[in-house]
């Protein structure tokens, strides 16, 4: 279990064994997924939880929830302990068994009682709030084959750390960006190292710590956009800046609306808060580029920062490094604390050096393609208008064959 792992792991050569638990209402599909993930991560422990065992775990997560809401504490050596031990928890979206699903022997109809009509998103909520699972993945929510969301916001309120489709689960780039082949959305986290990032943040911060301290930013209230405030369930910018991790855990935005009198252990509340803050930053703050900005968008807007600027492979090489401690450009603006929390390098937008005199963007400077996480010349890419707030809603893709891009109305002519 990653809890015993050295925190702040750099790079993506994960030496220790990740414990990956795959849950579905169909035993055969779960095992198929497990086989495919093992091929990508031969050193990981990959376990497919049979439908009945999964139903038992969901039952006990619900019991933990009931106990917490009644102000009681429940033992955690129940059937949901398998979820506690998961560094990465993979959940199918639709947990109602098909007619021909392989459920296994279920004399107490646990599957019918606790899985049927449940959604992976609901189990993700239970796992996030009432277990110590690491990263959470939901598979096949809204789409069953590779679909790139041109709004860039469709799942941004979702509680899972990443949403993928069946055919993306064994995309090597999902687990390790350095192994990306062609299709590798920039919005995906580096999944194999995400659990360690979460644990490092949990070890570093307390519930009473202000989130601004975790972001290493000071007062950024003047820069917040309305959507960034509202998505965190806050009234105004000042209340965002004043939030503690406890406030995030209790918020209805990216927290889980945990009531103060819920008797969840502090460690669970902190985990909820850390994961929620990470998701808010990753999905709502960084994409808007007004407070924090990540590497590809930083160099796209400031191409003079790129050594060997005339060669597109030099741009790709810069972005291929997911180091969170060693900034390849603009070191004075680099934000190590936020980078470690996010698991991707980010810079403070306000500290990015001004454009040097005589420098400008050139027609030969490439643009960043959000679907492949690579750079291409403007005319070799396709523009789209996302739903992001602020001045940087305009983005680009390369259009990988076999991938659906939706909704097509967002594509620029």
Footprint of another protein (CB under 8 A): 300-301, 357, 360-365, 367, 377-379, 383, 385, 391, 394, 396, 409-410, 412-413
Which residues 6+ apart lie within 8 Å of 347 measured at CB? 292, 293, 294, 295, 298, 327, 330, 333, 334, 335
C-beta of 15 vs 409, nearer to another protein? 409
Which residue's CB is nearer to another protein, number 313 or number 390? 390
Least distance (Å) from another protein to the CB of residue 150? Answer: 11
CB of 371 to another protein, least distance (A): 16
Q: How far apart are CA 291 and CA 333, in angstroms?
A: 11
* Nearer residue to another protein within complex by CB, 77 or 379: 379
Angle between helices 194-204 and 266-280 (to 10 degrees): 120
- Chain-centre distance of CA 29, in angstroms? 24
- Distance CA(396)–CA(375), nearest Å, equals 9
* Contact in structure between 19 and 45 (CB atoms under 8 Å): yes
Least CB distance to another protein at residue 391 (A): 7
Quick one: how many helices (H) and strands (E) in the chain?
15, 13
Whole-number Å distance between alpha carbons of 388 and 287: 7
| Contact yes or no for 256/249 (Cβ under 8 A) | yes
Tokens representing 214 are: 């975790």
Residue length of the chain: 413
| Smallest distance, another protein to C-beta of residue 405, A | 14
Cβ-based neighbours of 293, under 8 Å, separated by 6 or more: 286, 301, 346, 347, 349, 352
- Comparing CB distances to another protein, the nearer of 268 and 410 is 410
Least distance in angstroms from the C-beta of 387 to another protein: 9
Q: Among residues 125 and 186, whose Cβ is nearest to another protein?
A: 186
Residue 250 or 398: the one with the smaller Cβ distance to another protein is 398
Whichever of 119 and 393 has its CB closer to another protein, that residue is 393
Could you give the 3-state DSSP secondary structure of residue 294? Answer: strand
Cβ at position 355, least distance to another protein in Å: 8
Minimum CB separation of residue 282 from another protein in Å reads 22
């Amino acid at each position: 279990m990653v809890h015993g792992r050295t925190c702040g792991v750099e790079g993506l050569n994960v030496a220790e064994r990740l414990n990956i638990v795959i849950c579905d209402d169909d035993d055969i599909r779960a095992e198929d997924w497990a086989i495919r993930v093992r091929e990508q991560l031969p050193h990981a422990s990959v376990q497919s939880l049979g439908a009945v065992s999964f139903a038992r775990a969901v039952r006990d997560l619900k019991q933990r929830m009931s106990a917490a809401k009644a102000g009681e504490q429940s033992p955690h050596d129940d059937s949901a302990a398998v979820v506690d031990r998961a560094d990465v928890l993979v959940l199918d979206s639709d947990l109602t068994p098909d007619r021909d699903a392989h459920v296994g022997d279920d004399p107490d109809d646990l599957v019918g009682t606790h899985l049927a009509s449940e959604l992976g998103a609901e189990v993700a909520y239970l796992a996030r709030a009432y277990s110590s699972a690491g990263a959470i993945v939901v598979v096949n929510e809204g789409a069953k084959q590779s679909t790139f969301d041109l709004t860039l916001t469709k799942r941004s309120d979702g509680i899972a750390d990443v949403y993928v489709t069946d055919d993306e689960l064994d995309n090597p780039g999902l687990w390790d960006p350095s192994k990306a082949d062609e299709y590798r959305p920039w919005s995906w986290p580096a999944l194999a190292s995400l659990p360690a990032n979460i644990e490092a943040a949990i070890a570093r911060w307390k519930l009473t710590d202000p989130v601004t301290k975790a972001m290493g930013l000071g007062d950024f209230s003047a820069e917040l956009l309305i959507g960034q405030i509202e998505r965190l369930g806050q009234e105004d910018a000042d209340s965002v800046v004043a939030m503690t991790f406890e406030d995030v855990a209790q918020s209805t935005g990216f927290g889980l609306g945990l009531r103060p009198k819920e008797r969840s252990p502090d460690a669970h509340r902190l985990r909820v808060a850390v994961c929620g803050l990470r998701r808010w930053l990753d999905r709502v703050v960084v994409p808007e580029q007004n407070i924090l900005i990540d590497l590809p968008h930083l160099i796209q807007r400031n191409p003079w920062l790129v050594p060997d600027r005339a060669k597109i492979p030099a741009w790709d090489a810069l972005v291929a490094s997911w180091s969170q401690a060693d900034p390849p450009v603009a070191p004075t603006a680099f934000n190590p604390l936020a980078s470690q929390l996010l698991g991707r390098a980010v810079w403070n937008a306000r500290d990015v050096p001004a454009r040097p005199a005589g420098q400008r963007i050139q027609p030969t400077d490439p643009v960043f393609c959000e679907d492949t996480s690579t750079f291409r010349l403007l005319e070799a890419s396709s523009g789209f208008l996302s739903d992001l707030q602020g001045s940087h809603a305009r983005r680009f893709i390369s259009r990988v064959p076999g991938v659906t891009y939706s909704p097509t109305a967002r594509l620029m002519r």
